[in-house]
Copies of this chain bind each other. A is one copy, B any other.
Amino acid sequence: MKPENRKQEIINAAAVLFKEKGYSAVTMRDLASAMGIKAASLYNHIQSKQEILSNIIISLAEEFSTGINSINNSETNAIQKLEKIIELHIDVTLRNADGLASLNNDWMHLEENNLLYYEKMRREYEDIFRAIVKKGIRAGDIKTYDVEIIVFSTLSTLRTLYLWYPKQKKINPELLKHDMISVLLKGLV
């Protein structure tokens, strides 16, 4: 587990830099400098720059995948599921806001296999989200707005939390969950 620790340190430092400038603009020398070592030394711990990116993105995408599947399989109505999804996004954002920047902005720089895997997970995530909203509308729990508009407006806010929440000092997680549920859902019911 020793090399794994150092490796994770590198990945965390990379996530911070990727958030600031994006994957392509961050050089291995930038990353090494942030770690206080030389670029070549990074390769004692990681195989490539690409490995760092895929490590950041795939693990987060899998968190969302398992999260939404678990929520979707629960015996609750659409509104309760949407509330759980909001909490899921807030929890992941609290745990790894830096990495979410790469997930949102640098997924297209994944190489072929991981790119396909990521795109599959995102597609399935959105399909589940869409299905929940549709069921909610059919059950009369959600107003009959255009489904795509509901999915987009909700998801766009949740996906952008990573940019905004770390800068907020006076909003604690529980207050955020409560208010976000109000703001995003009260208009839909």
User: Which A residues fall within an 8 A CB radius of B?
Assistant: 20-25, 105-106, 108-109, 143, 145-146, 148-150, 152-153, 156-157, 159-160, 163-164, 168, 171, 175-176, 179-180, 182-188
Contacts and interface: CB of A to CB of B under 8 A. Distances in A.
Contacts of A25: 23-24, 109
27 contacts: A21-B24, A21-B108, A21-B109, A22-B105, A22-B106, A22-B108, A24-B25, A143-B182, A145-B179, A145-B182, A145-B183, A146-B175, A146-B179, A148-B171, A149-B183, A152-B157, A152-B160, A153-B157, A153-B183, A153-B184, A156-B156, A156-B160, A156-B163, A156-B164, A182-B187, A186-B187, A187-B187
A153 B180 contact: yes
* Chain A residues touching B, majority SS: helix
Per assembly, the copies of the chain total 2
Contact of A171 (B105, B146, B168): B146
A179 B24 contact: no
A156 B164 CA distance: 9
Contacts of A187: 182-188
A171 B149 contact: yes
A160 B23 CA distance: 20
Contacts of A164: 152, 156
B148 A168 contact: yes
Given A108-B21, A109-B21, A176 B149 contact: yes
A147 to B, nearest CB: 10
Contacts of A20: 108
